[in-house]
Structure 1
Amino acid sequence: MKRFILLDTAPIPGTADALCLFEYGDDFVIKIQGGKGGQLMNTRTHGSEDALATIPCSALSSKADARVLIGGLGMGFTLAAALQHLARNAEVVVAELVPGVIEWNRGALGEKSGNPLSDPRTRVVNQDVAELLKSESAGFDAIMLDVDNGPEGLTQKSNSWLYSPGGLEACARALRPKGTLAVWSASADRAFSQRLSKAGFKAREEQVYAHGNSGTRHTIWIAQRK
């Protein structure tokens, strides 16, 4: 019988919480310490994480010197999908707040996603994506956010600014003209769609399967800067 085997614990900077990496049979699972909210990520179910990058980056496949930002490294699947669709001279900046998550992706966890951190197009920074966005101006063709459980299902209150009007306006400023913001969420949120519009985006919602062609669906907002 499969059981969860704790491999490592990584403190979340600025909080009393930590992320825990478990081995579960042939898969890896990340949870919040203490079990709040259950599983955050699982290497077996990453279809929506793939789609978060595939949708905006496939439109950039022929663009020279494309530059994109991923907020939240997670298990590396969004990064791997972005690299799959971008040209050889592209740059993918990944902002990850938790140092331990970066180290996990350089180890056994990274093998599950094809070791995308070793790709020369990848630049990973140990930084809160919110702080990085505040310092950028028209620097990215696409921004992909997979922070927490999305705008409605936050487990860390400190993440709320990113989905606020001020956070979305910062995303708009950080995008190049006609750039795309893609936001992952565990569930739909009509109020967030309205917030995107007020921040200067033309947005649509896409429902994508977490794994395969049935079962749990997640929401991805695809929002183009007006």
Structure 2
Amino acid sequence: MPPVPSPPPGPAPSPVVLDRRDGPYGEVVLRRHGDQYEIIANGVFLMDTSDGRSERLLVDEALAALDAYAPGRAGLRVLIGGLGVGFSLARAAEEPRWGEIAVVEREDAVVGWHREGPLAAYSRHALDDPRVRVVREDLVSWVRASGPRYDALCLDIDNGPDWTVTENNGSLYSPSGLAACRERLEPGGVLAVWSAQPSAEFETALRDAGFTGVRTTRVPVARGVPDVVHIGLRP
């Protein structure tokens, strides 16, 4: 008897909107798609909970660059720009050498999804860590204001320098925006920027802004084009 053919796979589940908020920066949406969660900002897919390797690498690469400059330092201060689904924050909270972890997040909804919602499992409740401080501000404005310096800035608020969520975010990657980032770093500090695709132009922009040791680390992903982390050091 010939084998019975398997039935064709059923249709993929449609995304389910769990929360939708309108704010001063536009619309932000939390969706569940199968067993994953997604954040959509102004109609642009921002990130989901399917992987997280490159978001964790954002923090790992910053720490590795600091170790190359001055190995073994503790009490380091890191700023995470964009809470997202929490992978970067969770990774930072795992490392005891980070003595202070600041998170700049402009969307109250995103913070709420981590405090009381389903994303708390992905940030591993790191908002309860006494080293963690949430700054409810727009990162682009915060960088340009006067304030404390950090050993590392780990920025992930867009799909990359060439694919921003809101138009104003583009100024973060401009010469003046990168100069402001440089001033927010201690000497020997590290700027790490997540991107959904490599950008040779952004590498050049980092060098032109006075960063040294500029490099790009790639993380292969299923969709083809690798996620990347751009690194630059303040001399």
Q: Could you state the TM-score of these two structures normalised by the residue count of structure 1? A: 0.88
Q: How does 1:168-179 map to 2 (within 5 A)?
A: 168-179=178-189
1:8 aligns with 2:15: no
For residues 170-200 of structure 1, give each alpha carbon's deviation from its aligned partner in whole angstroms, at most 9, with x where no partner exists.
Answer: 1111100110000011111221111100111
Which range is displaced more, 149-158 or 179-188?
A: 149-158
Partners of 1:216 and 1:12 in 2: CA distance: 32
C-alpha displacement of 1:169: 0.3
C-alpha displacement of 1:4: 1.5
C-alpha displacement of 1:85: 2.4
Conserved 8 A contact 1:151-1:192: yes
C-alpha displacement of 1:113: 2.8
1:159 aligns with 2:163: no
Report what 2:126 is aligned to. Answer: 116
Task: For residue 30 of structure 1, give the secondary structure of its aligned residue in structure 2.
Answer: strand
- Unaligned 5+ segments in structure 2 are 1-11
Task: For residue 180 of structure 1, give the secondary structure of its aligned residue in structure 2.
Answer: strand
Task: For residue 90 of structure 1, give the secondary structure of its aligned residue in structure 2.
Answer: strand
Report what 1:51 is aligned to. Answer: 57
Partners of 2:218 and 2:104 in 1: CA distance: 25
1:95 aligns with 2:104: yes
Report what 1:207 is aligned to. Answer: 218
Report what 2:29 is aligned to. Answer: 20
Report what 2:40 is aligned to. Answer: 31
Conserved 8 A contact 1:137-1:173: no
Q: Which amino acid aligns with 2:34?
A: G
- Among 206, 217, 220, the alignment partner of 2:229 is 220
Partners of 2:39 and 2:15 in 1: CA distance: 11
Report what 2:47 is aligned to. Answer: 41
Runs of 4+ in 1 over 6 A off after TM superposition: none
C-alpha displacement of 1:11: 2.5
Which range is displaced more, 127-136 or 141-150?
A: 127-136
Relative to structure 1, is the Cα distance of residues 94 and 138 closer, same or farther in structure 2, using a 3 angstrom cutoff?
A: closer
Partners of 2:133 and 2:147 in 1: CA distance: 18
Q: Which amino acid aligns with 2:30?
A: L
Instruction: Indicate the percent of aligned positions where both proteins have the same amino acid.
Output: 37
C-alpha displacement of 1:54: 1.3
1:144 aligns with 2:154: yes
Partners of 2:181 and 2:228 in 1: CA distance: 19
Report what 1:76 is aligned to. Answer: 86
Which range is displaced more, 173-182 or 113-122?
A: 113-122
Q: Could you state the TM-score of these two structures normalised by the residue count of structure 2? A: 0.85
